[in-house]
Amino acid sequence: MNEWAPIAKEYDPLKAGSIDGTDEEPHDRAIWRAMLARYVPNKGVTGDPHLTLFVSRLNLQTTEEKLKEAFSRYGDIRKIRLVRDLVTGFSKGYAFIEYKEERALLKAHRDANRLVIDQYEIFVDFELERTLKGWIPRRLGGGFGGKKESGQLRFGGRDRPFRKPINLPAMKSDFYGEGPVEKRERSWSREGARDWRARDRDPERNRDKRWLERERSWAWGESNRERERDSKEERSRGRERKDRERKDRERDRSRDRDPKKQRDDDKHR
């Protein structure tokens, strides 16, 4: 723990695929590929690696002139190498910029990260191919991954550093029942769980409790039945009341019709 650092000092694909550098097995095939890769840095690359920046996530239309215009504000540039495809000559989206002074390098490393060039937010870091021992590029399963939302887990870099490991004491956890029996029983009692031993020691109390629960359930069921019976009676009374009112209205209408009929008969006579 004393030698722990959020940024990797020596590249290890297995550690780079771990959130805190403590994994013992790789979690995906890319880490396996990086562990089996035998990568040798390009010996044809010239320049001082300790004064060189790695710039990635570039727009494929970005040129060396545009990079020089953007990065020359931090200091004097010695050389810009935009990596291109050998066959097509198109940009691969990353470049290496070498400064003349370390002060300019540090300033660009600090301020140019997430700079927007040609509508693309770029990523800036120190060159690692010739400075970090054991480096494996991303095309062989190594690297430090992409953006956090990309879903690829890689740690130990500037964009996603290691998380500090949790230094737990060497003891068994009682939560899963690995500790002494007495301690487990006390912890369960404190958390309000059932104490099965206490239930066996006091059967009378538990029998009374069960009978009380049954009586409550019976009373609850009886009250429900009474409420259903009352609602049925209320509905039947309502129907009877409506029938009586309907008969009364019909009787009144028939009484009104009888005198009128009698008058019509007298008129025709």
Residue with tokens 């887990």: 153
pLDDT single digits (tens) 7-44: 888 999 998 888 888 888 888 888 899 999 988 888 88
pLDDT of residue 30: 85
Q: List, in order, residues 6 or more apart from 81 with CB less than 8 Å away.
A: 45, 95, 96, 97, 98
Token couple for 72? 């020359």
**pLDDT(189) > 90:** no
**pLDDT(262) > 70:** no
pLDDT of residue 57: 92
Does residue 32 or residue 228 have the better pLDDT? 32
**pLDDT(205) > 90:** no
**pLDDT(202) > 60:** no
pLDDT of residue 194: 46
pLDDT of residue 98: 97
Q: List, in order, residues 6 or more apart from 148 with CB less than 8 Å away.
A: 159, 160
DSSP the chain: -TT--SS-SS--HHHHTSSSS--SS-SSHHHHHHHH------TT--S-GGGEEEEES--TT--HHHHHHHHGGGS-EEEEEEEE-TTT--EEEEEEEEESSHHHHHHHHHHSTT-EETTEE-EEEE--TTTSTT---GGGT-SS-S-GGG-----SSSSSPPPPPP---S---TTTT-S-HHHHHHHHHHTT---HHHHHH-HHHHHHHHHHHHHHHHHHHHHHHHHHHHHHHHHHHHHHHHHHHHHHHHHHHHHHHHHHHHHHHHHH-
Nearest to 67 by CA among 81, 51, 46, 49: 81
Residue with tokens 């500037």: 158
Report angle CA 225, 231, 236 to the nearest 5 degrees: 130
Residue 125's beta-bridge partner residues?
Answer: 54
Lowest mean pLDDT among 67-81, 110-124, 205-219, 225-239: 205-219
Distance of CA 9 to the CA centre of its chain: 29
Distance of CA 268 to the CA centre of its chain: 96
Burial 78-102 (b: 16+ CB within 10 A, else e): eebbbeeeeeeeebebbbbbbbeee
Does residue 127 or residue 236 have the better pLDDT? 127
Token couple for 27? 């979690």
Q: List, in order, residues 6 or more apart from 248 with CB less than 8 Å away.
A: none
Q: Round to whole Å and give the CA distance between 99 and 95.
A: 13
> Mean pLDDT, to the nearest integer, of 129-145?
87
Does residue 222 or residue 182 have the better pLDDT? 222
- Model confidence pTM above 0.75: no
**pLDDT(215) > 70:** no
Does residue 137 or residue 254 have the better pLDDT? 137
